[in-house]
C-alpha cells in the first residue's frame, strides 16, 4: 500500500494501542447491546406477526379464559392443553357471518410413558374441514394423512430425532412418520400432526386428559363483507362458553408483555450511547491535545486544514468501524446463543433472515461510527484551524 | 522582479504589555539561486524572519512577495500550497513525526502536494542515501541520534523539489565531518538545481561560503 494520510492515521492509532483498544471495546459493547436488543425485539415482533398472518383464519374460538394459552400454542412453540365441547362447532357455524369452520385438538404426550416421545406437542386436526394445515400438507406429501400416520413440523422433525425413523410411538400407538412440513413460522413447526380419526383410540389407550367429544380450538373464516370484529362479538354474545380472538389481535398479549423489555433495552442503549459519546469526546480531546505539535509541523510543511481533518476523520472512522464490527459480531452471537437460553426467545419460532440481520448490523454500524464522529467533532474543529508550528521553540 | 521581496516587514510580539520587536522594518530582495547566510546573536530574530519568508508566520506589518505574489494575502489553502510546493524548510528544532519511520517522514510532504507523488518512494530512498542514512530507512525518530534526525529533516525538505530551501541552523548538532558532508550536499543542490538557499547559522565558517551574507541585530538586518 502506498503511503497516504490513511497510513499516518493507522500509525497514530497503533501508537496508542491500549487507548485505541479501550475505545473500540466500549463502542463494541454499545453496538452489541444495540444489535442484540434490536434482534430480540425484531425477531419477536416479526415472528408473531408472521405466524398470525399464516394461520389463515379470521377468528379463533377458544374455551373461555384460554385465549392466552391458545396464542402460545399457535404462535410459539409451547405445548398447552385446553378443551371445550365439540357441539360448539355447530353453534359457531350457525352464527351470521361465519363462512366456514374447522377445529383442532391439542395433546401432549406424557412424559415417562413407555416408548413415547416425551412432552411432544401433538395436533389432531379434522381433515374434512381443515383449511389451516392443508396447504402445508399438500406441499409436503400431496395427499391426506391416513389413520396411524403422522407428519412432523419443521422443527419437531429435528428436535424429536425423527430424522432416521419411519415410525414412532405416540400415546402407546404406533404412527408412521410420513413426512415433514416446510417451515411455517407458526406453532405448527414444533408439533406432530395427526388426523383426528385417531382420537378415539388415543383416548382409550392412553391416559390423556381429553374426553371424547372434546376439542381445543375452532378456526373460522368470515364471509366477505362482514366485519370480523362484529362477527366475533356476536359469537361471544351467543356462546358464553367461548372467547374469540380476531386475527389482527393475535399475539397482542405476547407483544404487550414485551413492551417493558423493549423499554429496558431502549434506556440501556440511550445511556450506553451517551456514555460512549462522552468517552469518545474525552479520548479525542486528549488525542488532539497531545498532537498539537505534530499537527503544527504537518501544517508547516504544507498540510492544509482539509488534510488534517481527513487524517483525524480516518482515525475516527477506523475506530468507529472496528468498534461497530466487534459489536455486531458480539451482538449477533449473543442473540443466536442467548435465544437458546431465554425461553421467550426460544418459544418464538421465527429466526431473523440474513437481510434483517444485515439491516440491524448496518444500523449498529451507523450508530457506533456516528457516536465516534459526534464525540470527536469538536476536537477536530479545534485542531483544523491550528496555526502552523513556527519552529521558534520546542514546546 | 526578484524571486523573494520583503518590504518593511516587522514582527512584534506583545508579552504582558511589553513589545518585543523580533523583526523590525526588514526590506530585502533575494534572487533565484542565491545562497544567503544569516548570522546573529541568539534572540536577534533570525528564526522569526525565516518563518515569515517560509509562509508560517504572519508578519505584524509589511509585505512578502514570492514571484510577485503577496503570500500573506493568499487564502489559507493557497498559503499551504505555497509551503508545500515552493518551500523546503529545515527547522531549528526536531520536527519529525514520531509515529513515522525515516522513509515515511520523507514521504509525508509529498502527500500535501498534488504532483509530487510520482516516484516519491524511490526519491526518498535516494535522499536518505545522500544524507548517509540508507540503513536507517525503517528506523523511527526515537531510534535515531539527534544528528541523524536532523539529516532526515534535511532530506525531507528536498522531497517536494522546492524552489527555496530555508535552513535554520541545519548542522547544529552534527560533528564537524558530518557537518561538512551535509553542507556540501546542500551547496551542491543549490548549485546544480538553482535552488535558492537561505542558511541561518552561528558558524562564520559556514557563512562565508554564501554568495551574500546578512547579519541580524535586534530584528534589523545589515548586509555584509
Ligand atoms: N511566540 C513568541 N512570543 C513572544 N516572543 C517571542 C516569540 N517567539 C520569539 N519571540 C522573541 O522574538 C525574538 C526573536 O526570536 P527568534 O527565535 O527569531 O531569535 P533567533 O535569532 O532565531 O535566536 P536563536 O539563535 O536563539 O535561535 C526573541 O527575543 C524571542 O524571545
Ligand atoms: Mg532561531
Q: What is the pTM of this model?
A: 0.74
Ligand 2 centroid to B92 CA: how many Å? 6
**Short-list A8, A394, A384, A308, CA closest to B95:** A394
pLDDT at residue number A161: 66
Q: Where are the alpha helices (DSSP H) in chain B?
A: 46-53, 76-85, 102-111, 120-130, 146-158, 176-193, 204-207
- Does residue A257 or residue A325 have the better pLDDT? A325
Q: What angle do CA B202, B206, B212 make, to 5 degrees?
A: 95
| Residue in B56, B104, B111 nearest the CB of A300 | B56
Q: Where are the alpha helices (DSSP H) in chain A?
A: 5-15, 17-54, 67-75, 88-93, 134-140, 154-159, 199-205, 228-238, 252-290, 292-300, 305-341, 343-347, 354-384
Number of Cβ atoms within 10 Å of the Cβ of B50: 26
Query: What mean pLDDT do residues A25-54 have?
Result: 81
* Interchain CB distance below 8 Å, A302 and B168: no
- Does residue A182 or residue A109 have the better pLDDT? A182
pLDDT at residue number A266: 82
Q: Which amino acid residue places its CA nearest to atom 3 of ligand 1?
A: B13
pLDDT at residue number A114: 47
Share of chain A above pLDDT 70, in %: 87
Q: CA A181, CA B72: separation in Å to the nearest integer?
A: 80
- Does residue A385 or residue A239 have the better pLDDT? A239
- Does residue A174 or residue A9 have the better pLDDT? A9
Chain B residue with CA closest to A8: the answer is B100
Ligand 1 contacts CB of residue A392 (under 6 A): yes
Q: What is the ipTM of this complex?
A: 0.94
Environment class of A213 (CB within 10 Å of its CB; exposed 0-12, middle 13-18, buried 19+):
exposed
Torsion of CA B88, B91, B96, B97, to 10 degrees: -90
Ligand 1 contacts CB of residue B80 (under 6 A): no
Share of chain B above pLDDT 90, in %: 70
The pLDDT tens digits of the residues spanning B161-195 come to 999 999 999 887 788 888 888 888 888 888 888 99
The pLDDT tens digits of the residues spanning B108-134 come to 999 998 876 678 889 999 999 988 899
pLDDT at B5 exceeding the cut of 80:
yes
* Interchain CB distance below 8 Å, B56 and A14: no
The pLDDT tens digits of the residues spanning A122-133 come to 889 998 898 888
Q: CA A370, CA A376: separation in Å to the nearest integer?
A: 10
Q: Which amino acid residue places its CA nearest to atom 8 of ligand 1?
A: A392
Chain B residue with CA closest to A16: the answer is B99
Can you give the residue ranges of every domain in chain A? 2-48+254-394, 57-249
Mean pLDDT of chain A: 83
Per-residue pLDDT band for A349 (boundaries 50, 70, 90) equals: very low
B114 CA to centre of own chain: 21
Name all domains of chain B by residue range, CATH numbers in brackets: 31-58+74-223 (3.40.50.300)
Share of chain A above pLDDT 90, in %: 17
pLDDT at residue number A241: 87
- Best residue among B43, B56, B89 to mutate for probing ligand 1's pocket (most ligand atoms within 8 Å of CB) is B43
The pLDDT tens digits of the residues spanning B24-80 come to 999 999 999 999 999 999 999 999 999 999 999 999 999 999 999 999 999 999 999
Q: CA A244, CA B85: separation in Å to the nearest integer?
A: 82
Amino acid at each position: 500500500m502506498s503511503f497516504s494520510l490513511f497510513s499516518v492515521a493507522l500509525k497514530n492509532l497503533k501508537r496508542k494501542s491500549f487507548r485505541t483498544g479501550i475505545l473500540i471495546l466500549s463502542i463494541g459493547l454499545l453496538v452489541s447491546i444495540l444489535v442484540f436488543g434490536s434482534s430480540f425485539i425484531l425477531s419477536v415482533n416479526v415472528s408473531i406477526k408472521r405466524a398470525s398472518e399464516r394461520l389463515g383464519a379470521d377468528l379463533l374460538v377458544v374455551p373461555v379464559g384460554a385465549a392466552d394459552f391458545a396464542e402460545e400454542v399457535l404462535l410459539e412453540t409451547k405445548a398447552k392443553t385446553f378443551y371445550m365441547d365439540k357441539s360448539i362447532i355447530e353453534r359457531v357455524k350457525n352464527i351470521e357471518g361465519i363462512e366456514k369452520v374447522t377445529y383442532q385438538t391439542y395433546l401432549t404426550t406424557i412424559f415417562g410413558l413407555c416408548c413415547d416421545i416425551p412432552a411432544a406437542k401433538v395436533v389432531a386436526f379434522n381433515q374434512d374441514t381443515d383449511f389451516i394445515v392443508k396447504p402445508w400438507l399438500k406441499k409436503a406429501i400431496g395427499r391426506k394423512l391416513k389413520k396411524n400416520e403422522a407428519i412432523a413440523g419443521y422443527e419437531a422433525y429435528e428436535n424429536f430425532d425423527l430424522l432416521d425413523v419411519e415410525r414412532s410411538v405416540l400415546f402407546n400407538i404406533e404412527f408412521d412418520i410420513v413426512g415433514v412440513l416446510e417451515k411455517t413460522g407458526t406453532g405448527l413447526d414444533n408439533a406432530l400432526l395427526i388426523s383426528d380419526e385417531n382420537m378415539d383410540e388415543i383416548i382409550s389407550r392412553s391416559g390423556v386428559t381429553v374426553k371424547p367429544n372434546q376439542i381445543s380450538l375452532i378456526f373460522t373464516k368470515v364471509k366477505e363483507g362482514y366485519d370480523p370484529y362484529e362477527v366475533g362479538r356476536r359469537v361471544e354474545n351467543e356462546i358464553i362458553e367461548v372467547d374469540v380472538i380476531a386475527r389482527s389481535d393475535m399475539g397482542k398479549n405476547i407483544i404487550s408483555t414485551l413492551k417493558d423489555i423493549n423499554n429496558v433495552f431502549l434506556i440501556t442503549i440511550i445511556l450506553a450511547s451517551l456514555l460512549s459519546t462522552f468517552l469518545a469526546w474525552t479520548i479525542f480531546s486528549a488525542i488532539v491535545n497531545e498532537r498539537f505539535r505534530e499537527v503544527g509541523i504537518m501544517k508547516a510543511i504544507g498540510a492544509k486544514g482539509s488534510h488534517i481533518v481527513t487524517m483525524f476523520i480516518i482515525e475516527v472512522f477506523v475506530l468507529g468501524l472496528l468498534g461497530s464490527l466487534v459489536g455486531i459480531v458480539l451482538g449477533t452471537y449473543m442473540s443466536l446463543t442467548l435465544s437458546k437460553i431465554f425461553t421467550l426467545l426460544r418459544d418464538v419460532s421465527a429466526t431473523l433472515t440474513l437481510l434483517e440481520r444485515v439491516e440491524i448490523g448496518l444500523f449498529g454500524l451507523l450508530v457506533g461510527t456516528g457516536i465516534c464522529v459526534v464525540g470527536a467533532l469538536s476536537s477536530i474543529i479545534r485542531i483544523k484551524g491550528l496555526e502552523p508550528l513556527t519552529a521558534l521553540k520546542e514546546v | 522582479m526578484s524571486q523573494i521581496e520583503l518590504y518593511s516587514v516587522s514582527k512584534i510580539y506583545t508579552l504582558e504589555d511589553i513589545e518585543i520587536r523580533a523583526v523590525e522594518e526588514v526590506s530585502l530582495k533575494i534572487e533565484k539561486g542565491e545562497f544567503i547566510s544569516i548570522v546573529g546573536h541568539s534572540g536577534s530574530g533570525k528564526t522569526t524572519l525565516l518563518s515569515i519568508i517560509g509562509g508560517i508566520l504572519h508578519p505584524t506589518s509589511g509585505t512578502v512577495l514570492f514571484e510577485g505574489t503577496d503570500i500573506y494575502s493568499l487564502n489559507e489553502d493557497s498559503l499551504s500550497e505555497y509551503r508545500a510546493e515552493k518551500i523546503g524548510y529545515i527547522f531549528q528544532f526536531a520536527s519529525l513525526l514520531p509515529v513515522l519511520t525515516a522513509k515515511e517522514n520523507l514521504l509525508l510532504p509529498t502527500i500535501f502536494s498534488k504532483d509530487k507523488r510520482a516516484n516519491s518512494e524511490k526519491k526518498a530512498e535516494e535522499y536518505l542515501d545522500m544524507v548517509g542514512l540508507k540503513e536507517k530507512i525503517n528506523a523511527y525518530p526515537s531510534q535515531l541520534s539527534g544528528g541523524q534526525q536532523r539529516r532526515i529533516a534535511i532530506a525531507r525538505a528536498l522531497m517536494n523539489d522546492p524552489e527555496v530551501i530555508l535552513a535554520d541552523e541545519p548542522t547544529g548538532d552534527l560533528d564537524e565531518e558530518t557537518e561538512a558532508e551535509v553542507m556540501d550536499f546542500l551547496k551542491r543542490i543549490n548549485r546544480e538545481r538553482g535552488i535558492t538557499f537561505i542558511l541561518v547559522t552561528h558558524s562564520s565558517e559556514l557563512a562565508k561560503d554564501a554568495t551574500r551574507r546578512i547579519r541580524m541585530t535586534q530584528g534589523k538586518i545589515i548586509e555584509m
